[in-house]
Amino acid sequence: MKKRLDVLICGGGACLSSHSQDVKNKFIEVLKAKGLTDEINLVETGCMGPCEMGPVMVVYPDGSFYVQLTENDVEPIVEEHFLKGRPYQKKLWAAPEARKIVEEKRQVPFFEKQQKVVLALCGKIDPESVDEYIANRGYEALGKVVTEMTPEAVIEEMLKSGQRGRGGAGFPTGLKWKFGKASEGKQKYIVCNADEGDPGAFMDRAVLEGDPHSVIEGMAIAAYSIGADKGFVYCRAEYPLAIKRLEAALKQARAMGLLGKNIFESGFSFDIEVRMGAGAFVCGEETALMASIEGKRGQPRPKPPFPAQKGLWGHPTVINNVETLAAIRHIILNGADWYASIGTEKSKGTKVFALSGKVVNTGLVEVPMGITLRELLYDIGGGIPNGKKFKAVQTGGPSGGCIPAAHMDTPLDYESLTKLGAIMGSGGVIVLDEDTCMVNVAKFFLEFSVEESCGQCAPCRIGLKQMHDLLEKICEGKGKMEDLDLLESLAHTIKATSLCGLGQTAPNPVLSTMKYFRDEYEAHIKEQRCPAGVCKDLISYVVDESKCIGCTACARTCPVSAISGAPKQKHRIDPSICTRCGSCIVKCPVKAIYIGPGAVKREVESKKLHLEKTL
């Protein structure tokens, strides 16, 4: 029977964890019970993007976009929409500003400004069906390349497209391939970097889970261009679904002869192996990654020689990121000129960003390079939740930096971000609101880098730890103004002398927060005050006695019994016992508890100092 509806349920990581699988199973059950299985096509796809709204689902041909589904929604949707043709309004996407229900996916503001290239098929096809990929011109680019183009012509096309690597450094892909091709060697390799270590980034996982064949096809085209016959995908083991879908895709591709010997009868042979990493951040660095594939300890080595000259087991190796590779087929199919027409002068094409933190629509978005931060956060991201004020975004994770509100109209491209002291990185965008302490954020990222440092070189191993300790001191209200100079000089030394990109970039979060939020650092040091009210040693929780109704809710919830007061009496918090966990604030029905100013804090601190002195 002809199918009259395509029902696509998101099976991306976030939707799976909000129980999309249960919703899907319920659909299977209800469709069966109502005898609709033959006429309705139920497909589980990869990530559709608006992770915050999961589980999400889109119904074609009308394009109704459902959000926050539960098993209870299944019956009414089948009954009303699938049978009677009336979309179930209750769970259609409602734009939060206007509480307006949007009937069609393409009118949802979240999708309107996006331009999907790499993510075009994520959420639109069954990632385990090679047929659905082929239906969308899958493997046509590979076919064209190996039967009609010379490797030189492919590289020329890539150079013309202006594509730059999406793994962080932004190196031109065509140029890297050119070096790989020029290197002498009978054996060459192509490696796909799917380590994705940046906290907050999950685009590579989404591509592998939602459209694995596009990565395979990109690798095969790269391999043909440089003369490699073997490829590796290096993926972290904590991405089991990505690995499963990739393995399934590899199997299908092999079975169809799209991988293996003599592909498209062109004489070109290529196959791919998946290698799992244990999730160390440094193993995303290309030389450490290669060491790990070789079975050695995942440590970086000095460059040159670059991997394209001496890579895996000493053979020329080209390493590209997942998102870089997934875009290749589109460049071949639509032409370099098409790709180069998207984006800005020096940053071509589209970029996937992972929005997280204090923004209404968290999730994955793909936009042309060069759109402004404001468009990204407000038009697509839907702004800051709970009426809070925007403070900054952190891009590029632990290697990146922050951009304050004053630079909201900065175009998102490699150069502009670097100029601001932030970086494009892999595209993680963490949104921070007024309740965020920037010193604490810098400390958080540095803590990550300290833990992930491989320990091989002194600047990174020792220097970062020193920086971290200084930040900790400042957060405790024990910093001195000289510490700021010390932080700065350490940062520059570490950047200049570290062996690999980890140490070379790890001080960035500190430098950029010091640049844009120096007043916050100074408030911590000079006034022992944390303006955002975050640093535990610099705040106190205080009961406003004029508001307290003596309900005892706070006292009962306090885990350390710091709150005293009989029923119907005013309550009081003992700052020397209080751990600043914040649970009382949440419990108070009359909002009588607030975060107190510096004066009380100094008292706390002096007690500490006193203790330390007497010990």
Distance CA 533, CA 539 (A): 6
Six-digit token string for 551 = 């309900």
How near is the Cβ of 80 to another protein at its closest, in Å?
Answer: 9
Please count the residues of this chain forming the interface with ligand FMN, following the rule CB under 6 A.
Answer: 22
Binds ligand FMN by CB under 6 A, chosen from 500, 525, 562, 593: 500
**Secondary-structure breakdown of the chain: helix, strand, coil percentages, each rounded to the nearest 5:** 45, 15, 40
Cα distance between residue 398 and residue 282, in whole Å? 12
Taking CA atoms, 257 is separated from 247, 254, 268, in Å, by: 15, 5, 11
Residue 281 touches which member of ligand FMN, another protein, none, C-beta under 5-8 Å by kind = ligand FMN
Give the binding range for another protein (CB under 8 A) out of 33-41, 270-278, 372-380, 423-431.
Answer: 33-41
Of 193-201, 243-251, 375-383, 464-472, the window that binds ligand FMN (rule: CB under 6 A) is 193-201
**Alpha carbon of 448 to those of 62, 245, 578: distances in Å?**
46, 30, 28
Q: Which of 286, 366, 483, 537 binds ligand FMN (CB under 6 A)?
A: 286
Pairing mode, if any, of strands 230-236 and 189-194?
Answer: parallel
Residue type present at position 41:
N
Query: Minimum distance between the CB of residue 38 and another protein, rounded to whole angstroms?
Result: 8
Among another protein, ligand FMN, none, what does residue 285 contact (CB within 5–8 Å per kind)? Answer: ligand FMN
Closest separation between CB of residue 526 and ligand FMN, Å? 35
- The Cα 59–Cα 81 span in angstroms is 9
Nearer to another protein, 132 or 433 (CB): 132
Minimum CB–partner distance for residue 519 and ligand FMN (Å): 31
Q: Which stretch binds ligand FMN (CB under 6 A): 11-19, 319-327, 462-470, 534-542?
A: 319-327
The one of another protein, ligand FMN, none whose footprint includes residue 257, by CB under 5 to 8 A per kind, is another protein
Among the residue ranges 130-138, 296-304, 355-363, 405-413, the one whose residues contact another protein (CB under 8 A): 130-138
Examine residue 428 and tell whether it contacts ligand FMN (CB under 6 A): no
Residues 6 or more apart whose CB falls under 8 angstroms from that of 108 comprise 50, 65, 93, 95, 102
Binding map of ligand FMN across residues 126-165, x = CB under 6 A, - = no contact? ---------------------------------------x
CB 487 within 8 A of CB 515: no
Least Å distance, CB 321 to ligand FMN, is 3
Residue type, 229: D
Q: Which range, of 11-19, 77-85, 340-348, 605-613, touches another protein by CB under 8 A?
A: 77-85
Residue 444 contacts another protein per CB under 8 A = no
* Cβ pair 264, 176 in contact under 8 A: no
Distance CA 101, CA 92 (A): 6
Q: Which is nearer to another protein, 143 or 172 (CB)?
A: 143
Interface positions, 207-266, toward another protein (CB under 8 A): 256-258, 263-265
Query: In whole angstroms, how far apart are CA 24 and each of 64, 76, 82, 124?
Result: 17, 14, 15, 16
Is beta strand 57-60 parallel, antiparallel or unpaired with respect to 40-45?
A: unpaired
- For residue 326, give the nearest of 222, 197, 198, 179 by alpha carbon: 222
For helices 464-475 and 438-452, angle between their N-to-C axes, nearest 10 degrees: 150
3-class secondary structure, 94? strand
Q: Scanning the structure block, which residue is given the tokens 């964890």?
A: 17
* Rounded-to-integer distance, Cα 45 and Cα 31, Å: 19
Asked whether the beta carbons of 533 and 524 are under 8 A apart, the reply is no
Say which entry of another protein, ligand FMN, none residue 168 contacts (CB below 5 to 8 A, set by partner kind). Answer: ligand FMN
Contact pick of 4, 90, 296, 389 for another protein (by CB under 8 A) = 4
Q: State the nearest-atom distance from the C-beta of 408 to another protein, in Å.
A: 35
Angle at alpha carbon of residue 588, lines to 582 and 591, rounded to 5°: 95
Does residue 501 touch ligand FMN according to CB under 6 A? yes
Distances from the Cα of 60 to the Cα of 20, 22, 109, 111, angstroms: 18, 21, 19, 16
Task: Output phi, psi for 130, to 5 deg.
Answer: -65, -30
Instruction: Kindly tell me which of 168 and 477 has the beta carbon lying closer to ligand FMN.
Output: 168
User: How near is the Cβ of 104 to another protein at its closest, in Å?
Assistant: 9
Q: How far is the CB of 551 from ligand FMN (least distance, A)?
A: 50
Write the interaction track for another protein spanning residues 263-292; mark x where CB under 8 A is met and - where it is not.
Answer: xxx---------------------------
Give the residue with the Cβ less far from ligand FMN, 157 or 520.
Answer: 157
Query: Quick one: which segment of 10-18, 34-42, 67-75, 390-398 binds another protein (CB under 8 A)?
Result: 34-42
Shorter beta-carbon distance to ligand FMN: residue 179 or 390 = 179
Residues that bind ligand FMN (CB under 6 A): 165-169, 171, 193, 195-197, 281-282, 284-286, 319-321, 324, 500-502
Residues that bind another protein (CB under 8 A): 1-6, 8, 38-39, 41, 60-63, 82-86, 124-125, 131-132, 134-140, 143, 147, 256-258, 263-265
